[in-house]
A and B are shown apart, each in its own frame.
Chain A
């Protein structure tokens, strides 16, 4: 196979007048964990559906595993695995029966299925649960089984659509171990998520917003290149009042809550940042707002994400 496992050029999809996906360019490299990020309704699912050969693009083109998604959807489907955010295995079948079923559907004859099933059970850690009815499994185990079923045919690329939505943190970590495990064996992972901590763990990222790709690259690249300005983190006991005051100050733009803390972005030159911090502290003190802690911090992906969305929103006149 030559070229990247996923390659999209000017991929576009309309639903009536609505542009769900707007000229997206994408390339995912062999064996990497590609994180596809964006808020709900940004066009993530539509893009994934096109790449899986379920939806035709309105214009543009893409190849997945070297096959054209528009003209060779069957070859695409044979080469990929797909795991949806909604559990979509048969809950009234046992673990083993689900694996058998999807194995057969992917054309694995029973002679080979036995050994393949054993590998899947070992990979997902489902030993001893083979004869459990799937509905009796916890959410975390169900997701592992779903992943197991979607790689039964050893696909070159695995698409995971918000695989850990609603899963407890422990199970999420175990699940990501599984993802890395498969990636190390050379399987390319295409993961959509809105958990930022998960995004930090991806090899490379793509940010999609309003159907457009607004940033892409490794997490480090994105942090280095896409963050304009410096982030000042503020810890105060009166965050709401502080937020209002900071928003009125000319030295700060993009002021937002970050959990219980406040993040303010300043466009001041690096050498002028300490002075800005001082002026903020002073201003807050004048208003009688106690400052527990104020400091500059390296941007997190969430900061960048919010910043990119705000930039995008201010650019659109509509």
Chain B
């Protein structure tokens, strides 16, 4: 038997054993196939930043046609719902403190009088800023609605005075790639990348640590099996499972969430496989430093959290301090996020994505070889 035949025989034996064990372990089976789908579905619904049905508390002291017109503009936009109407500013405060409302609108007495007199009238808006990102968005929506109302009023006033109303600057806005600015179209591809990373890293590390935990690795290392054969046999099943997961998760994104996949699935599949070199490598690395499955789980979590935060999936990397921005260059997920989002939303091809793909390949190969050599030392 040539050494290549021997290699194949052993790799196949380990991979087959791994599949048999997986088939008999409902918990692992669940993690492998159901968890990604459930995670993507949950995150897909939860991870939206869309401004929709924001609860508003109103203190309308004017009770006039003008004040009703302003409030009408706010609610008819569809972004805001008037939750309650209260008599005093103090009640507005309590409402926001209690979390019943996120926005308070206070219309002082005399709004209509001032408008009719041609004087500047005032409206106060109060926004709960505890979620800064969301508050910023809410503020700009609110500002736009009220400013539009003000422009309308001034147009009316101008035509009454015999002027032809006109706007000196007209903005022609076009939003590309995501015309309706649905945050889900942007978030789901990001979550797609996260789910893949978590599943392949955790499954790989657990599968190897399980052998240590149960003592079965002892029987393996007295055999003439080579570390590379062991690693290849161990990783092959999880690579295959991850590839199946890619397909499943893409299907959920496209058919359930109706996220348009503008680019090619083949390219997405290929580059995901490339990304998996880094996650399988990471899983292998974790397995060399853990002795029990719990340890492996804990270390995975500790590593995955900062990776996610620094990957740009949640907040743009451009907003991070410059030092941190450089640091994110070391995080493979960062490149994969760009790749996944570009393929989904922009339909980008290799001509645009090659630098990210190249970075991913470099990281994948280095990380993978590193973990393999470390694994070799640990086991040999």
Q: B1 contacts which chain A residues (CB < 8 A)? A: 107, 109
Q: Is A102 positioned at the interface, with any CB of B under 8 Å from its CB?
A: yes
Q: Is B378 positioned at the interface, with any CB of A under 8 Å from its CB?
A: no
B222 is contacted by which of A82, A90, A93, A133 (Cβ under 8 Å)?
A82
Q: Is B20 positioned at the interface, with any CB of A under 8 Å from its CB?
A: yes
Task: Decide: A92 near B21, CB < 8 A? Known: A104-B9, A107-B1.
Answer: yes
Q: Which of A72-80, A231-239, A250-258 is the contact stretch?
A: A72-80
A286 CB, nearest partner CB in chain B, Å: 57
Task: Decide: A101 near B13, CB < 8 A? Known: A91-B214, A93-B21.
Answer: yes
B266 CB, nearest partner CB in chain A, Å: 34
Q: In the complex the two chains form, is A84's CB within 8 Å of B218's CB?
A: yes
A121 CB, nearest partner CB in chain B, Å: 19
Q: Is B180 positioned at the interface, with any CB of A under 8 Å from its CB?
A: no
Q: In the complex the two chains form, is B10's CB within 8 Å of A107's CB?
A: yes
Q: Is B223 positioned at the interface, with any CB of A under 8 Å from its CB?
A: yes
In the bound complex, CA of A80 to CA of B219 (Å): 12
Q: In the complex the two chains form, is A93's CB within 8 Å of B224's CB?
A: no
Q: In the complex the two chains form, is B224's CB within 8 Å of A78's CB?
A: yes
Q: A54 contacts which chain B residues (CB < 8 A)? A: 221-222
Q: Is B314 positioned at the interface, with any CB of A under 8 Å from its CB?
A: no
Chain B interface, >50% SS class: helix
In the bound complex, CA of A52 to CA of B219 (Å): 11
A77 is contacted by which of B12, B214, B223 (Cβ under 8 Å)?
B223
Q: In the complex the two chains form, is B221's CB within 8 Å of A89's CB?
A: no
Q: In the complex the two chains form, is A77's CB within 8 Å of B224's CB?
A: yes
In the bound complex, CA of A52 to CA of B216 (Å): 16
Q: B9 contacts which chain A residues (CB < 8 A)? A: 104, 107, 109
Least CB separation from A52: chain B residue:
B222
Least CB separation from B226: chain A residue:
A74
Q: In the complex the two chains form, is A88's CB within 8 Å of B216's CB?
A: yes
B215 is contacted by which of A74, A88, A109 (Cβ under 8 Å)?
A88
A160 CB, nearest partner CB in chain B, Å: 12
Q: B21 contacts which chain A residues (CB < 8 A)? A: 90, 92-93
In the bound complex, CA of A109 to CA of B1 (Å): 9
In the bound complex, CA of A88 to CA of B220 (Å): 9
Q: In the complex the two chains form, is B224's CB within 8 Å of A101's CB?
A: no
Least CB separation from B3: chain A residue:
A107
- Per-residue A-contact encoding for B172-216, CB less than 8 Å = 1, 0 else: 000000000000000000000000000000000000000000111
- Per-residue A-contact encoding for B343-366, CB less than 8 Å = 1, 0 else: 000000000000000000000000
Q: Is B24 positioned at the interface, with any CB of A under 8 Å from its CB?
A: yes
In the bound complex, CA of A268 to CA of B186 (Å): 95
Q: B219 contacts which chain A residues (CB < 8 A)? A: 82, 84, 88-89, 102, 149-150
- Per-residue A-contact encoding for B71-84, CB less than 8 Å = 1, 0 else: 00000000000000
Q: Is B137 positioned at the interface, with any CB of A under 8 Å from its CB?
A: no
Q: Is B324 positioned at the interface, with any CB of A under 8 Å from its CB?
A: no
Task: Decide: A86 near B218, CB < 8 A? Known: A104-B9, A105-B10.
Answer: yes
Q: A104 contacts which chain B residues (CB < 8 A)? A: 9-10, 12-13
Q: Is A68 positioned at the interface, with any CB of B under 8 Å from its CB?
A: no
Q: Is B25 positioned at the interface, with any CB of A under 8 Å from its CB?
A: yes
Q: Is B303 positioned at the interface, with any CB of A under 8 Å from its CB?
A: no
In the bound complex, CA of A222 to CA of B14 (Å): 46
In A57-115, the 8 Å CB interface with B consists of: 74, 77-78, 80, 82, 84, 86-93, 97, 100-102, 104-107, 109
In A217-233, the 8 Å CB interface with B consists of: none
Q: In the complex the two chains form, is A101's CB within 8 Å of B17's CB?
A: yes
Q: B20 contacts which chain A residues (CB < 8 A)? A: 92-93, 97
Task: Decide: A92 near B25, CB < 8 A? Known: A77-B223, A107-B1, A109-B9.
Answer: yes
Q: Is B6 positioned at the interface, with any CB of A under 8 Å from its CB?
A: yes
A142 CB, nearest partner CB in chain B, Å: 12
Least CB separation from B216: chain A residue:
A88
Q: In the complex the two chains form, is B214's CB within 8 Å of A105's CB?
A: no
Q: B224 contacts which chain A residues (CB < 8 A)? A: 74, 77-78, 106-107
- Per-residue A-contact encoding for B7-29, CB less than 8 Å = 1, 0 else: 00110111011001100110000
A70 CB, nearest partner CB in chain B, Å: 13
Q: B222 contacts which chain A residues (CB < 8 A)? A: 52, 54, 77, 80, 82
Task: Decide: A100 near B215, CB < 8 A? Known: A52-B222, A105-B223, A109-B1.
Answer: no
In the bound complex, CA of A9 to CA of B218 (Å): 26
Q: A86 contacts which chain B residues (CB < 8 A)? A: 215, 218
Q: Is B244 positioned at the interface, with any CB of A under 8 Å from its CB?
A: no
In the bound complex, CA of A106 to CA of B214 (Å): 21
Q: B251 contacts which chain A residues (CB < 8 A)? A: none
Least CB separation from B221: chain A residue:
A54
21 contacts between A and B (CB under 8 A): A52-B222, A80-B222, A88-B217, A88-B218, A88-B219, A90-B17, A91-B214, A92-B21, A92-B24, A93-B17, A101-B16, A101-B17, A102-B219, A104-B10, A104-B12, A105-B14, A107-B10, A109-B5, A133-B24, A149-B219, A150-B219
- Residues of chain B whose beta carbon lies under 8 Å from any beta carbon of chain A: 1, 5-6, 9-10, 12-14, 16-17, 20-21, 24-25, 214-225
* Additional 16 contacts, C-beta under 8 A, given A54-B221, A87-B215: A77-B223, A77-B224, A80-B222, A84-B219, A86-B218, A88-B217, A92-B20, A93-B21, A104-B12, A104-B13, A105-B13, A105-B14, A105-B225, A107-B1, A107-B9, A150-B219
A-B interface, 7 closest residue pairs, ranked by CB to CB distance from nearest: A104-B13, A82-B222, A88-B219, A77-B224, A88-B215, A78-B224, A88-B218
